[in-house]
């Protein structure tokens, strides 16, 4: 479930994607958040007026440069978090694979040592002669 803090980001995205919108447009897009949007617009100077209409609610609005940069920084932060999360999963997978290979090689060496006893005659070869066992 999205919290009320997400409405600010959603408003900024709406403003970026729909230049020249009115308050009525944006409150129609977020019908349950009209009062919250109005309060945010009044308190933070969220949008810049492009041209005024008969009513303050009918004037065209646009994002300020500052708000565009805020949105850009937010989106870059989200991409960095996603990339970091992906790198962490790859690192964990690599560590797990490394541990599995190490354990497998340990068990294979143990199995080979059990199969071939240490006191069994080993084949040797001398230069110029045939293979003999000792």
Q: What CATH number has the domain bearing residue 18?
A: 1.10.10
Could you tell me if residue 23 is inside a domain?
Answer: yes
Flag whether 85 is in a domain: no
How many domains, the chain? 1
Does any domain span residue 59? yes
pLDDT (tens digit per residue) in 29-42? 777 776 677 666 66
Task: Count CA atoms within 13 Å of residue 2 on its CB side.
Answer: 10
- Residue 42 C-beta-side C-alpha neighbours within 13 Å: 8
| DSSP states of 8-49 | HHHHHHHHHHSSSB-HHHHHHHSGGGHHHHHHHHHHH--EEE
Which pLDDT tens digit goes with each residue over 60-113?
A: 777 888 888 989 999 999 999 999 999 999 999 999 999 999 999 988 887 777
- Interatomic CA distance for residues 58 and 54, integer angstroms: 7
């Amino acid at each position: 479930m999205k919290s009320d803090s997400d409405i600010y980001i959603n408003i900024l995205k709406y403003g970026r994607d729909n230049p020249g919108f009115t308050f009525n447009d944006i409150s129609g897009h977020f019908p349950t958040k009209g009062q919250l949007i109005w309060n945010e617009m009044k308190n933070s100077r969220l949008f810049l007026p492009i041209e005024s209409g008969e009513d303050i609610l009918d004037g065209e609005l646009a994002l300020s440069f500052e708000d565009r940069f805020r949105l850009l920084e937010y989106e870059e932060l989200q991409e960095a978090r996603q990339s970091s999360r992906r790198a962490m999963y790859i690192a964990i997978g690599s560590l797990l694979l490394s541990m599995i290979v190490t354990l497998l090689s340990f068990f294979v060496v143990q199995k080979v040592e059990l199969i071939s006893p240490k006191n069994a005659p080993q084949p040797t070869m001398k230069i110029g002669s045939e293979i003999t066992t000792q």
